Amino acid sequence: MVEIVKYGATGRRKSSVARVYLTPGTGTITINQRSFENYFPRETDRILILEPLRLTNTLGKFDITAKISGGGSTGQAGALRLGLSRALVMCDTENKPTLKKNDLLTRDPRMKERQKPGRKGARKRFQWVKR
């Protein structure tokens, strides 16, 4: 019986959540049962996501399966990058200093500010009228 090793991690950014699973393989990337190029059509998002793999020289060594929910395309790309970085650290702890030095293990704390009562949005006030 052959045991399949699977590494899983979670990445978050803004309101996006990405659950990432790494299995040793040929380098195929599947996101929500869709291909990588189909799910992220913008080249900038794809470069951003593959950065942890390039830095650790593991491009093409793992099959990546991800389930992403919430947020927009850039937030989802950031969440996937963080989840991928955390999964790479789980599979080999020697990757941690490289990823940490390039600031890939830090979660982006910026979130949408809540809407306050008596206002139109988080900060916008109604127009002041003297008379």
Q: Is 60 left (phi over 0), alpha (psi -120 to 50) or beta?
A: left
Right CATH number for 7-101 from 3.40.50.1100, 3.30.230.10, 3.40.1010.20, 3.40.50.1370? 3.30.230.10
Q: Are 71 and 16 in contact (CB under 8 A)?
A: yes
pTM exceeds 0.95 = no
Secondary structure of 55-100 as H, E, C letters: HCCCCCCEEEEEEEECCCHHHHHHHHHHHHHHHHHHHCHHHHHHHH
Question: Of the candidates 108, 106, 32, which has an alpha carbon nearest to the alpha carbon of residue 69?
Answer: 32
Q: Kindly report, residue by residue over 46-101, the tens digit of the pLDDT.
A: 999 999 999 999 998 999 999 999 999 999 999 999 999 999 999 989 999 999 99
